[in-house]
Structure formats: C-alpha cells, structure tokens
Structure 1
C-alpha cells in the first residue's frame, strides 16, 4: 500500500471493513485507520491528526457522511492512535469518542499527553499535529467487558494494559476479528512477521505477555493491526511472544554488558534491520523508542523488587 490508499479488508471472514494508510511519520505501511461500515458506522483509530482529511475522504469513498458517523473508537491514547480523535469529533458532530476510562481525561485535555509524547518520541514530534480537545460530553468511557453496539457489528472491550495502562482491544465477533492495538506487536506485511513495540514510559513486559494470552483466549480468525493491516492470526501470537521475550532479554543483557543506557540504544540502532522496510531514519527512531521503553521497564522492575 501507498500513503492514502484505501483497501477493503477481506482477510478471513471480514466484511464491511476498510483500511486506510494514513502515512504516519511519512512512512508507508506503518500506520492506519479502519472504517467499519456497520449499521452504526465507526472509525477505529485516528492516526496522528495530520491526515484527518484523508480519513473523511475515506469515509466518503465508503459512503459514510460526516454527520452519519456514530463512533470514533481509539484503542489507547498514544497519539499515533488517538491524535486525530478531536479532529474527527469536530468534523463528525454526531459521533461519540470511545476510549478506556483511564485515557479519557487525556482526550478532554491533551496537554499532559502532548508533553509526554514529546519526551518519548523526541525529534519525531515534527510529524505530529497538535491534538484538539474532545468535549467531555462527547467521550464515552469504557472498561473491560463493555460493549459498543454498532447494530450488525459490535465492539467488545477487553483491557490490555501491557503496552499502556489505557490500552484496550476491540473484538468484532461478526468479523471473527480483533482490533489488536499494539497488544500483538507491529505486523510487517513485507516480512509477514511481527516486531516489538515497547515504548516508554509505561510498557510492562509481564502484562504484555498476559495481553498475548488474552488474544489467544479470544482466538480471532483475524488480527487487525493499527501497525499495519490485517493478518490471519495463525502463528502470529506465538511468534510475538517469542519476539517480545527475546527483545527484552537482549536489551537487559546489553545493559549488563555495556553499563551505559545510551550505548545500549546506539548498539540496537546500529543493528536494526528495518531500514529497508521503513527507511533508515524511521527504523533508527523506532529502535531508540523501543529500547528506551524496555530500559524504563527494567528500572521499574528493579525498584519494585
């Protein structure tokens, strides 16, 4: 796919579902948004906020007018998933914005979220748009076990806090699919494989493994990745458990060997093989982000011990 491409999702049993490449970080096949043409239409995920017009155009191509959109659902409030929520809420005046209850205050007042994101993503902030606050009355707070009724579809809410405490995954039984957020890693279509996503400041390894177990229990036919696209579940969850475990162990071993966190980050940046997939700049930035997330988790674990 290229940036701006809209495709119908036909993986597994999926129907009424389209996927848009929103060109996160000016990188194709890295981040996207789903348009679910249900009786009560929904957009799942919203991108960085920089391409809200592309989402509205995708809706139009599917046949959904802004005033007819009922739900904007974000899996968590990291701005690569929720950065466009306020933009869509402003354009789609009848839509409720669905988010886990712990993330809701950050959609209503994104100031702390922006501060934290700038600290986490460093010079990648240039690719973001300033988020627009979502009015309190437009936010629907959900928690584990809640259901968002879309008529002929529904989004069943499952709390998945390993990547971030405000993360949920949305199960769509009609499509035998789960909008997997970052709970199953980043799917790379070019490789037909998954890679880790472990950003600061709230990544928690053991909880992330529990989230993988949750997805196993749900046993969807299809995983719907924000990063990037749809894939049959078969084998991917076992693969992500192995990838994530190896990644955390490698970062921990490098810290023990080098004794300097910046040296650890630089080592993994040199060794990344994702430059041919996303561009060298994005691959190095992604590696830096993920290494810092594991190092932060190790600090938290050691303090807790």
Structure 2
C-alpha cells in the first residue's frame, strides 16, 4: 500500500468502511485514517495534519460531501491521531469532533500539546502541521460507556488509558470491529505481527496490559489499527500481551547494563529490526521515542514502590 491509497475494508464482517494511508512521517504503511460511510458519516483518526487534504479528497471519493460529514472521531489527542482534526473541522463545517473529555481542552487550545509533542519527538516535528484550534461548541466530550450514534452504525466508547489517559477505543458492533487507537500496539502488515508503542510521558505498562484485556473482553472479529490497517484479531492481542512486557524488560536490562539513559536509547536504536519495514530514520526515531516512554515508566514505577 502506498501513501495516499484508499481501499474498502472487507476484513471480517466489515462494511461501509474505508481506510486511507495518510503517509505519516513520509512513511508508507505506518499511519492511516478510516472513513465510515454510515447514515451519519464519520472519519475516525485524522493523521498529523500535513495530509489532511488527502482525507478530504478520500471523503469525496467515497461519495460523502464535506458538508455531509457529521462526525470526526479521534481516539486520543496525540497529534499522529488528532493533528488533522482542526483542519478537517474547518472544511467539514457540520461535523462534531468526538474526543475523550480529558483530551478535549487540548483540541480547543493545542498549545501545550504542541509543546509536549515537540519535546517528545524532537526533529520529527518537521513532518507535522500546526494544529488548528477547534471551537468548544464543535467538540463532543465522551467517556467510558458513551455511544456515538451513526444511524446504521455506532461507536461505543471504551476508556483505554495505558498508552495515554485521554485514549479510548471505539467499538463498532455492526462491523464486529474495534478502532484500536494504540491500545493493541502497532500492527505491521508486512510481518503480520505487532510491535510496541510506548511514548512519553504517560505510558503505563500495567494499565496498557489492562487495555489489552478490555479489547479481549470485547472479542471483536477485526482490529482496526491506526498504525496500520485492518487485521483479523486471531492471536494479535495475545502477541501484544507478550511484546509489551518484553520490551519494557529489554529497556530495563539496557539501563542496568549501560547506566546512562542516552546510551540506552542509542543501544536500542542500533538494535531495532524495523529499518527494513519502514526506513532507517523512522525505525530509529520510533525506537528512541518508545525507549524514552519505557524509561519514564520505569522511573514512575520505581518512585511508586
């Protein structure tokens, strides 16, 4: 799949659903957005903002006029998921923007979110567009147990705070599918496997494992990954339940070996096996961000003991 490609999702029981590669970090098969052609049409996830025009074009290609889009739903406010929300809201004037109540203030005023993102991702900021603030009256705040009615579909909200406290997953019962946010890891279609996503500053291992259990209890036929694409559930949740603690343990072992966190990060960047899947730069950047998040979790855990 190439950047800008749009296809109809036919995994499992899915209908009325489309997936677009939004070319995050100029890397194909890394990040995407979904279009649900429901009675009340919706976009789920919005990318970095840099390729929001691709999403607008895809909405039209599906057959939805911009003024007819009714919902822009983001699983959390990290800017690889919510960076395009304001851009889409500006062009789709009748759409409400759905987000967990903890994250809502950061869509209305993204200044602190931008500051924190720049600190976490460093020079990857060049791939981002400046987010556009969304008026409060356009934002619908949701929490665990809420339902977004789309007519012939619905998005059931389940809080999943392990990756970030403002993260939710959206269950679509009509499609027997769940939009997983980052709660089920990053799905790598080239490998048919999952890898970790543990960014700073709020990753929490035990909560993240509890989120996997939440997904297991929902028992969806299909997992709809933002990173990257639809996949049959099969053993992917069990895999991620193994991947996460193994990753944190590897970071902890490297800290014990090297003593210096920057040396730990450099070591894990050298050890990454993802360069052949994405690119050397993206693989190293991913390893750096995930290592920092795991190191932050270890600091938190040790302070709490």
Distance 2:236 2:299 in 1: 29
Q: 1:293 corresponds to which residue?
A: 293
Q: Does structure 1 residue 9 correspond to structure 2 residue 17?
A: no
Corresponding residue for residue 41 of structure 1 = 41
**Pair 1:133 & 2:133 matched:** yes
1:65 is aligned to 2:70: no
Structure 1: 5+ residue runs without aligned partners?
Answer: none
Using the size of structure 1 for normalisation, the TM-score is 1.00
Q: Work out the CA distance in 2 between the residues paired with 1:241 and 1:8.
A: 29
Question: 1:59 aligns to what SS in structure 2?
Answer: helix
Determine helix, strand or coil for the equivalent of 2:292. helix
| Residue 163 (structure 1) aligned with residue 160 (structure 2) | no
Deviation at residue 258 of structure 1 after TM alignment: 1.2
Per the TM alignment, residue 302 of structure 1 is displaced from its structure 2 partner at its CA by 1.1
Q: How far is 1:267 from its partner? A: 0.7
Q: How many residues align?
A: 305
Q: Distance in 2 between matches of 1:50 and 1:239?
A: 32
Note the alpha carbon deviations across 1:172-207, whole angstroms, 9 max, x for none. 000000000000000000000000000000000000
Say whether residues 1:149 and 2:149 are aligned partners: yes
Tell me the CA shift for residue 304 of structure 1.
Answer: 1.4
The more displaced of 248-257 and 218-227 is 248-257
Residues in 1 aligned to 2:165 and 2:229: alpha-carbon distance in whole angstroms? 23
What is the aligned partner in structure 2 of residue 262 from structure 1? 262
SS at structure 1 position matched to 2:148? strand
| TM-score for the superposition, normalised by structure 2 | 1.00
Q: In structure 2, what is the Cα distance between the partners aligned to 1:276 and 1:254?
A: 23
What's 1:97 paired with?
97
Residue matched to 1:187: 187
State the alpha-carbon separation in 2 of the partners of residues 164 and 51 from structure 1: 24
Aligned mates of 2:251, 2:135 — CA distance in 1: 41
Question: Offset of 1:257 from its aligned partner?
Answer: 1.5
What is residue 51 of structure 1 aligned with on the other side? Answer: 51
- Distance in 2 (CA, whole Å) between partners of 1:268 and 1:112 is 29
Write out per-residue CA displacement over residues 63-116 of structure 1, whole angstroms, 9 at most, x where no aligned residue: 001100000000000000000000011000000000000000000000000000
Q: CA RMSD in A?
A: 0.4
Deviation string, structure 1 residues 213-272 (Cα, Å, up to 9, x no partner): 000000000000000000000100000010111001110111111111011111110010
Partner of 1:108: 108
Where do 1:224-239 residues align within 5 Å? 224-239=224-239
1:165 deviates by 0.3
User: Deviations 1:278-301 (Å, cap 9, x if unpaired)?
Assistant: 000000000000000000011111
Runs of 4+ residues deviating >3 angstroms: none
Which residue in the other structure is 1:302 paired with? 302
SS for the counterpart of 2:180 is strand
Helix, strand or coil: the match of 2:19?
strand
Q: What are the within-5 Å matches in structure 2 for residues 69-84 of structure 1?
A: 69-84=69-84
Q: C-alpha distance in 2, partners of 1:245/1:13?
A: 32
Task: Give ranges in structure 2 of 5+ residues lacking alignment.
Answer: none
